[in-house]
Amino acid sequence: MDQNEQNGKKQIALNIVSAKSKHKGFGAGSIELNNLSPVIIDNGEAKIDIGAMHAKSKVERNIKFSTNREDVPNGRQVWLVWVAVDRTEEGQLYGGATACEMWIDTEARRGWKLLAEHVNRMDYALKRRFMLDELGPEARAALKTLLISHNEDWWNASPDVLKEALA
């Protein structure tokens, strides 16, 4: 039981209310983001950066983003990987992972990303999909190392599609 439940407070989640269904009160139609973690892969190193949940990861801070790739001619490629953790009767595992690309020029404080793609990929990870084909060998190795070092039991219990994508 978490702190909010112990205090008798309802936990707030991101509410999605559709016109097709009647809203049934607090928390109805909410999306649970507690089992989702953003991983930033930059310069061959993967790190969990919770700030990326709100586009405020360490690499994104103080950067003005554009949707025009040509605005960042001297940028370096940075990956945001959304990783969803699933719980089964056997235990927890990595249940979804999707990668989104960014280009960042720290010196010029300019960057490129497609926010809609980042949101869609987050949704795909929450829906337990794996979309890691765009990652290069160095980024795949960095992500695999992070996932294993974070929790090897979760890695071992994860679907083969994830292991094959990061092989």
Mean pLDDT of all residues belonging to the chain: 85
Determine the Cα angle at 134 with ends 39 and 41, to 5°.
25
Res 1 pLDDT > 80: no
Amino acid in the structure at residue 167: A
Q: Can you give the pLDDT at residue 84?
A: 94
Mean pLDDT calculated for residue range 77-106: 94
Q: Can you give the pLDDT at residue 3?
A: 46
Q: How many residues does the chain have?
A: 167
Q: Can you give the pLDDT at residue 7?
A: 55
pLDDT digits (tens, 9 = 90+) for 26-67: 544 445 567 899 999 999 999 999 999 888 999 999 999 999
Percent share of the chain, pLDDT over 90: 72
Band (pLDDT 50/70/90 cuts) for residue 8 is low
Residue 113, judged by CB atoms within 10 A of its CB (0-12, 13-18, 19+), counts as buried
